[in-house]
Every structure is written in structure tokens, then in C-alpha cells.
Structure 1
Amino acid sequence: MSEFDKREESFELKFAHDEELHFKALARAHKMMGLWAAEKLGKTGAEAEAYARALIEQDLAAHAKAGVLGRIEKDFAAAGVAQSEHQISRHFEEFRAAAEKDIKR
């Protein structure tokens, strides 16, 4: 195996590792977001966990952050929870940053 091949393999392994960490951090952020939203919606215990799990599963199916945030916005509107799109997005970014920090430990 040439030095070039070794370097290429090393970069590929690093990329795969980074993508795995990103996936784990995003799933964790969605769970944190789901638990936060569940609290705002008055859900507790198993019901809150189920709500958070549903958001993670929705993200896995849709592969889009906007889908999760959009669902929370709709759920909040239906329940009369006063949170703007900006506030919801801001909370998600805070949870994402915390999740990435946790994953990198």
C-alpha cells in the first residue's frame, strides 16, 4: 500500500467517524428538543419520552431539521403555546451545540 493510499484511507476513516459523531449529536439534540417541547406542551414521563422519540424517528425518515422544527411549531400552535419560529430555532441550536459538546467528550 502506497503512502498516498494510506493517507486516502485515513481521510476516509476520519470522514466516516465525523459523520457518525454528527449523526449521534443530531439525534441527541432532537431528543433534547423533543423533551423541551413536550414540557411546553404539558407532557411528562413516558408521554414526553414518546414525543421526543417520535421527533427522532421523523428526522430519520425525513432527513431534515426543518421537519422536526416544523412539527414542533404546528404542535405548539395547536396547543396554544406561545413560541416563535425564531425562539424554537434558537433552542434547537442551543441543544445541538450542547449535544455536540457531549458527544465529543
Structure 2
Amino acid sequence: MTTFDEREHAYEAKFVHDAELEFLAQAYRNKQIGFWAAALMGMTAEEAVRYAKDIIAVDLQTAGHEDVVAKLKKDLGELRPEDRIRERMAEFLAAGREKARSGELKTML
């Protein structure tokens, strides 16, 4: 294998690794935003787990997170404005990225 091939392989491996970490971080964000919204809506623990799983599934349907924002806006109604939903999602994503980098998420999800 040439040096160029080795570099190319290393870049590809890093790209895959980074994509996996981002996927884990986004799944963490969706799970946490689901629990947050469930608490605002007064759901039981069992309902909250089901709702968080629904949020994760919604995000997997189309690219981007706008589908999650739309579902949360619809479900929360007047409980929280869209800008607050987006703030919380950004906070959970930042936390998810940190946890993914530290390896903590491999066992959490």
C-alpha cells in the first residue's frame, strides 16, 4: 500500500468515525428533547420513554431536524415557543457531542 493509499484510508476511516459520533450525538439530543417535552406535558415515565423513542424515529424519517421541531411545536402547543425548543435541542446536541467524543454514548443508547 502506498503512502497516498494509507492517507486516503485514514481520511475515510476518520470520516466514518466522525459520522458515527454525530449520529450518536443526534440520537442523544432527540432522546433528551423527548424526555424534556414529555415532562412538560406531564407524561408518566413509561409514556416518556415511548415519546422519546417516537422523537428518535421522527428524526430518522427525513434529513435534518426540522421534522423534530415541527412535531415538538405541534405536541407542546403553547407550553414552549419554537425558539426555546431550538435552544434546548442545541444544548442537548452539544452535550451529546461531548458524550460521544468521550465514548460515554456507546453504552447509553
Aligned residues: 102
1:13-92 correspondence to structure 2 within 5 Å? 13-77=13-77, 80-81=78-79, 83-92=80-89
- Structure 2: which amino acid aligns with 1:27? A
SS state of the match for residue 20, structure 1?
helix
Q: Is 1:8–2:8 an aligned residue pair?
A: yes
What amino acid maps onto 1:23 in structure 2? F
The runs of 5 or more residues in structure 2 that have no matched partner are 103-109
SS at 2:37's partner residue?
Answer: helix
Deviation, structure 1 residue 44: 2.0
Stretches of structure 1 that go unaligned for 5 or more consecutive residues are: none
Write the deviation string for residues 17-46 of structure 1: whole angstroms up to 9, x where unpaired: 000000011001100000000000111211
Residue 97 of structure 2 aligns with which residue? Answer: 100
Q: Provide the identity percentage.
A: 37
| Structure 1 residue ranges, 4+ long, deviating more than 3 angstroms after superposition | none
Q: TM-score, normalised by structure 1?
A: 0.93
Displacement of 1:100 in angstroms is 0.8
TM-score (norm 2): 0.90
- The Cα RMSD (Å) is 0.9
